[in-house]
Amino acid sequence: MAFPTLVLRGGRVIDPSRKLDEISDLVIVDGKIASIGATKATAEVIDCSGKIVAPGFVDLHVHLREPGHEYKEDIASGARAAAAGGFTTICCMPNTEPPNDNRAVTELIVRRAREAACVNVRPVGAISKGLKGESLAEMGEMKDAGIVAVSDDGKPVMNGALMRRALEYARTFGLPVVQHAEDLDLAQGGLMNEGAVSTRIGLRGQPSAAESTMVARDLELVALTGARYHVAHISTAASVRLLREAKARKLPVTCEVTPHHLTLTDAACAHYDTHAKCAPPLRTTDDIAALKAGLADGTIDCIATDHAPHSSQDKAVEFAEASFGMIGLETAFALCLRLLDEGVLSLSALLGKLTYAPARVFELGAGTLAIGAPADVVVLDLTQERTFSRSHSKSRNSPFWGQTLRGAVAYTVVGGNIVHRESE
Amino acid sequence: MTPFAHRHLLGIADLSANEIVQILDLSDTFLEISERAIKKVPTLRGKTVINLFLEASTRTRTSFEIAAKRLSADAVNISGSTSSTTKGETLLDTARNLQAMRPDVIVLRHTASGAPHFIAAHVDAAVINAGDGTHEHPTQALLDCATIRKHKGRVDGLTIAICGDIAHSRVARSDVLALGKLGAKVRLAAPRTMLPIGIETLGAEVYDRMEPAIEGADVVMMLRIQKERLDGAGLFPNTREYSRYFGLGLRMATHLKPDAILMHPGPINRGIELDPALADGTRSVILDQVTHGVGVRMALLYLLAGGSAEN
């Protein structure tokens, strides 16, 4: 009999993929989940009493900036930030330099991740060559090299005919198509949500319709092609309504929402804080209410961070000049816990949105404590407060920087190895 | 022999299984003429056949011309570059003028789907569709059936995989119809960008990937990637990726049934949709398709121009 290598003792083990919720010991042998149940085995033991033991989080949407923008982040630092946030599998977007639009770049990312990342990194390939929205990227070869989905994230696929072809071509290879839904003509270079705040502070806004009209177009193309479609970071009430209708029509669609779009409104931009500048922009309280309702009724499948590191030189500039996006891996869990406090989701449902639900969207085979599964596990402390003043990311661009948030990741385990301890 | 019930051959869609078999049987008879030292019979002596080819073609036009000549018909060729249409004449005017010269058969190749149907309504001559747009290419499907029947002894019950640009292929449409009518199981494999919506309603099974489509198939037919689509034209990223996943290369060929035969309507993009070693290999019946083309077209000219069977 193999000896356990790690025992997570006495925690409340919650695995939404198996509707499991019990005080128990989780035993890891050879990097895999060996058993859940009382054990007397002697091994390295972590006392988890009073804590939650859950599958490691899965993030469908991060930017690791490697290759090309390593001054913002690289695969190693982004993976450390992920581990600190409880994420054991992260999917990195292709808007690197060069972009991940061909097999050679995919292979580079896969190799760098194997060498340097402490969590599982699964690349997302480009939809179009050079992310230019003109012609299809080599999805077949990228799939063979390891991509799990395609997206031109950061940019929408504006051309409807190309989007149709992308959906058809991706379907051929069983790849979901992830859309950054933003009609650039309607957005007109808007820097924030178009509304009372943008009008008052004199910044060019973009209407929420810039997102929802793109979603509406795409949903009709999904109906035409039957392809798997996933909307990244939805932010508007109208998008939620459209996706709810699409799911009622049994279209093969999914979507994600970020913790920041559930937490902040465009009021965060009122003092020209560039850390609140992101794409899609922060919206309104009505939109947040709709997003929460969408999470609760299953319209929104999962939570993804859109972790978007930028250096101070990208952010310490005029609002109009600042880059879009914020880091999110290390604050995601604490921000999501508010959904529990507000009664939007049960703890099990919330953990589901962070684990097996996203894993299912990209068919990653992760996010579960099933016996025999890789031991990707997180130990959570729901009560501990922590001031966000340290980060494993290379960047600090977060509107939550310096704030004290409740909810902490005590341990993160990947393949049976402890890759993060809160005490460190 | 049962009289042929059609005045024109506009598409396989109009033919019954029995009529297709009738054409194939007759074709086999006429093929024998091509093997004689004097390759000519007087069957259609005094009949006039106009080959009106308003889209480029070498093999189909030559095949029709030879078929007519071996039956002693007078064959006149008009090709796109020399026709009146380039001078602004409408297709209707062209057809009426040709009709005024009293031809017996007009063989039409045209870039527009439905063009043969259009002129058939305005001429007394029999019209044979030699390929219209992305609609049908019935004589190609008939020669494919004839070739398969010769090599496999039957068409009924066979599994036939057609791979490539189905969306823009009139050959694929006619083949799906003809093979289906004769009782074969047809599989289509292509990237989804090249699979027309609703093609399965014509009676074919659709495959995303080529390997499972050719697995166990008795016949594998590779379609040509049209020159204008070689750069992808938005339908695939490039010829390298196309060739890797939807071309019949040597690696892909390991999935072939040992006795599978390989077909291609030509002209072949060697190394793109079909590896040269396979195109020229023992399983290839591609040149046999061309041979059967003459027989099938002789049979159709005979049936439609009303030749006398006694000859």
Which of A339, A361, A383 is a domain's end point? A361
- Give the CATH number for residue A383: 2.30.40.10
| Residue of A15, A25, A101, A306 with catalytic role | A306
The rounded distance, in Å, linking the Cα atoms of A13 and A87 is 17
**Among B192, B208, B232, whose Cβ lies nearest the Cβ of A135?**
B232
Q: Is the pLDDT of residue B31 over 50?
A: yes
Chain B contact for A130 (CB, 8 A cutoff): no
A389-403: pLDDT as tens digits: 999 999 999 999 999
- Strands B48-53 and A52-55, by their bridges, are unpaired
Q: What is the 3-state secondary structure (H, E, C) of chain A?
A: CCCCCEEEEEEEEEEHHHCEEEEEEEEEECCEEEEECCCCCCCEEEECCCCEEEECEEEEEECCCCCCCCCCCCHHHHHHHHHHCCEEEEEECCCCCCCCCCHHHHHHHHHHHHHHCCCEEEECECCEHHHCCCCECCHHHHHHHCCCCEECCCCCCCCHHHHHHHHHHHHHCCCCEEECCCCHHHHCCCCEECCHHHHHHCCCEECCHHHHHHHHHHHHHHHHHCCCEEECCCCCHHHHHHHHHHHHCCCCEEEEECHHHHHCCHHHHCCCCHHHCCCCCCCCHHHHHHHHHHHHHCCCCEECCCECCCCHHHHCCCHHHCCCCECCCCCHHHHHHHHHHCCCCCHHHHHHHHCHHHHHHCCCCCCCCCCCCECCEEEEEEEEEEECCCCCCCCCCCCCCCCEEEEEEEEEEECCEEEEECCC
Same domain? For A233 and A89 the reply is yes
Same domain? For A49 and A60 the reply is no
Question: Considering the domain boundaries, does residue A252 fall inside one?
Answer: yes
Could you give phi then psi for residue A108, rounded to 5 degrees?
A: -60, -45
Same domain? For A49 and A84 the reply is no
Amino acid type, A72: K
A304-329: pLDDT as tens digits: 999 999 999 999 999 999 999 999 99
Question: Considering the domain boundaries, does residue A1 fall inside one?
Answer: no
Q: Residue B83's pLDDT band (boundaries 50, 70, 90)?
A: low
Count residue pairs from A and B with Cβ separation < 8 A. 49
Count of residues making up chain B? 311
Q: Is the pLDDT of residue A1 over 50?
A: no
Q: Spell out the domains of chain B, with CATH numbers in brackets.
A: 12-136+293-305 (3.40.50.1370), 138-289 (3.40.50.1370)
Fill in the DSSP letter of residue B21: H
Kindly calculate the radius of gyration of chain A based on its CA atoms and give it in whole angstroms.
Answer: 21
Selection from A6, A19, A79 nearest residue A54 by Cα: A19
**Among A137, A162, A171, whose Cβ lies nearest the Cβ of B234?**
A162
A52-65: pLDDT as tens digits: 999 999 999 999 99
Same domain? For A43 and A140 the reply is no
Same domain? For A94 and A159 the reply is yes
Question: Considering the domain boundaries, does residue A285 fall inside one?
Answer: yes
CB B81 within 8 A of CB B57: no
For residue A166, what are the domain limits? Answer: 56-361
Q: Residue A82's pLDDT band (boundaries 50, 70, 90)?
A: very high
Q: Which of A30-44, A340-354, B15-29, B38-52 has the lowest mean pLDDT?
A: A30-44
Question: Considering the domain boundaries, does residue A398 fall inside one?
Answer: yes
The rounded distance, in Å, linking the Cα atoms of B106 and B99 is 9
Output the six-digit token pair for B9. 């051959």
Enumerate the residues of chain B whose CB falls inside 8 A of the CB of residue A129. Answer: 237
Enumerate the residues of chain B whose CB falls inside 8 A of the CB of residue A171. Answer: 192, 208
Q: What is the ipTM of this complex?
A: 0.86
CB A388 within 8 A of CB A45: no
Which of A336, A361, A386 is a domain's end point? A361
CB A305 within 8 A of CB A272: no
The pLDDT of residue A422 is 87
Count of residues making up chain A? 424
Enumerate the residues of chain A whose CB falls inside 8 A of the CB of residue B241. Answer: 138, 140-141
Share of chain A above pLDDT 70, in %: 98
Question: Considering the domain boundaries, does residue A279 fall inside one?
Answer: yes
B193, A168: Cβ pair inside 8 Å?
A: yes
CB B166 within 8 A of CB B190: yes
Enumerate the residues of chain A whose CB falls inside 8 A of the CB of residue B191. Answer: 168-169, 172
Domain count, chain A: 2
**Among B193, B197, B240, whose Cβ lies nearest the Cβ of A169?**
B193
The pLDDT of residue B271 is 92
Cβ-based burial of A114 (10 A; exposed 0-12, middle 13-18, buried ≥19) = exposed
Cα-to-chain-centroid distance, residue A300: 13
Same domain? For A39 and A164 the reply is no
Cα-to-chain-centroid distance, residue B244: 26
The rounded distance, in Å, linking the Cα atoms of A180 and A325 is 13
Q: Is the pLDDT of residue B303 over 50?
A: yes
Question: Considering the domain boundaries, does residue A368 fall inside one?
Answer: no
Enumerate the residues of chain A whose CB falls inside 8 A of the CB of residue B197. Answer: 224
CB A242 within 8 A of CB A212: yes
**Among B235, B244, B245, whose Cβ lies nearest the Cβ of A165?**
B235
Question: Considering the domain boundaries, does residue A366 fall inside one?
Answer: no
A129, B234: Cβ pair inside 8 Å?
A: no
- Give the CATH number for residue A277: 3.20.20.140
Same domain? For A305 and A414 the reply is no
Same domain? For A352 and A390 the reply is no
Same domain? For A27 and A72 the reply is no
CA distance A143 to chain B (A): 12
A positions 154-193 inside 8 Å of B (CB): 161-162, 165, 168-169, 171-174
A124-152: pLDDT as tens digits: 999 999 999 999 999 999 999 999 999 99
Per-residue b or e along A180-211, where b marks 16 or more CB atoms closer than 10 Å to that residue's CB? bbbbeebbeebbbbbbebbeeeebebbbbbbb
Could you give phi then psi for residue B247, rounded to 5 degrees?
A: -95, 155
Question: Considering the domain boundaries, does residue A48 fall inside one?
Answer: yes
Residue A152 annotated as catalytic: no
Same domain? For A263 and A393 the reply is no
Q: Is the pLDDT of residue B120 over 80?
A: yes
Chain A contact for B193 (CB, 8 A cutoff): yes
Selection from B224, B19, B8, B26 nearest residue B129 by Cα: B8
Which residue of B188, B210, B235, B241 is the best one to mutate when testing the A interface, meaning the one whose CB has the most A CBs within 10 A? Answer: B241
10 Å Cβ neighbour count for B254? 8
Same domain? For A271 and A286 the reply is yes
Cβ-based burial of A119 (10 A; exposed 0-12, middle 13-18, buried ≥19) = buried
DSSP SS3 for B89: coil
Could you give phi then psi for residue A241, rounded to 5 degrees?
A: -60, -45
Q: Is the pLDDT of residue B231 over 70?
A: no
Chain A contact for B29 (CB, 8 A cutoff): no
Same domain? For A48 and A70 the reply is no
- pLDDT, mean of residues B141-169: 97
Which residue of B168, B192, B199, B210 is the best one to mutate when testing the A interface, meaning the one whose CB has the most A CBs within 10 A? Answer: B192
Residue of B nearest to A130 (CA): B237
The rounded distance, in Å, linking the Cα atoms of A347 and A53 is 12
10 Å Cβ neighbour count for B52? 27
B241, A138: Cβ pair inside 8 Å?
A: yes
A172, B191: Cβ pair inside 8 Å?
A: yes
Chain A contact for B191 (CB, 8 A cutoff): yes
CB A244 within 8 A of CB A290: no
Task: Report which secondary-structure segment, H or E, holds B146.
Answer: helix B138-152
Which of A337, A361, A385 is a domain's end point? A361
- Distance between terminal CA atoms of chain A? 33
